Amino acid sequence: MYKCVIHDSRKHLMEFIENQTEWDGKWDKPVMYYEVIGTCRTMSNRQLRKALNYAMTTWDIEIPVTFKPVWFRGNRTQKPDITIDFKAKDSDQTFKDSPSVLAYAYFPAQGSYSGKVVFNDDYIWDFIGKGMKASEALKKGWITGTNNPDNIIRTYSVVAVLIHELGHSLGLRHDVTGNNDGTDVMDAIYSGKNRLELSTRDIYRIVKKYGNRIYSRWARYARLKKAMKRAKLRL
């Protein structure tokens, strides 16, 4: 089975990106359901659902696929197509072998593996990677010790990584141009400045695979994009 991963540094990158071609598989469903099936030690389930809603909407604004959470009334009997899980390295071989991997996802058309997204729970996750004082992380039990309680330690944006990993779940590899210049959601490296909005190249690639979502008035598309961007800035 093939999966794509996102790393926290370039030197640990596992894939030879320049020789990539686009993944052939895609989902053939007009409506897809998603669910959080794991527990994150640094974020509540409610926060994760909010982050997932932002990430899903980022993609479905562009393509004619509607994403629905299974936790809403009327959807609870639906089997999720996409699942979000959290595992520490002690319970996941990928994270055990490669601790720098932040998350990974499987492509479509891979049977029961399709739609699985797994986050490394050994990292500290928040909405947009704001960072936090070491003393606060120590108090919460998220780190085991610190030489300087006033230091700001790194946290990671669950929204940015969700958007990236959902791109894989929909069938996009990392940037097939090999540029990885930090301008695209589908770049392979987490730089701490990862985008919360799709680039022109990201949109071109996903629309080429699934087609455009058609709006009766395209002004609504612009309003939705603007509203989502403002909402993410408030996180």
- pLDDT tens digit sequence for 173-184: 887 665 666 688
pLDDT at 29 over 70: yes
Give the highest mean pLDDT range of 18-32, 87-101, 167-181, 186-200. Answer: 87-101
Q: What is the CATH number of the domain that holds 35?
A: 3.40.390.10
Q: Is residue 135 part of a domain?
A: no
- Segment among 70-79, 88-97, 127-136 with least mean pLDDT: 70-79
**Predicted TM-score (pTM) of this structure:** 0.90
Condensed to tens digits (0 to 9), the pLDDT of residues 86-112 reads 999 999 999 999 898 999 999 999 899
Give backbone dihedrals phi and psi of 162, rounded to 5 degrees, phi first.
-60, -45
For the chain, the domain total comes to 1
The total number of residues written for the chain in this structure: 235
The pairing of beta strand 101-106 with beta strand 66-69:
unpaired
Q: Is residue 148 part of a domain?
A: no
Q: Is residue 21 part of a domain?
A: yes
Alpha-carbon dihedral 173, 177, 179, 184, rounded to 10 degrees? -50
Please give the residue range of the domain that contains residue 92.
3-125+155-233
Average confidence (pLDDT) over 187-194:
72
Q: Is residue 143 part of a domain?
A: no
Give the whole-angstrom CA distance, residue 144 versus residue 141.
7
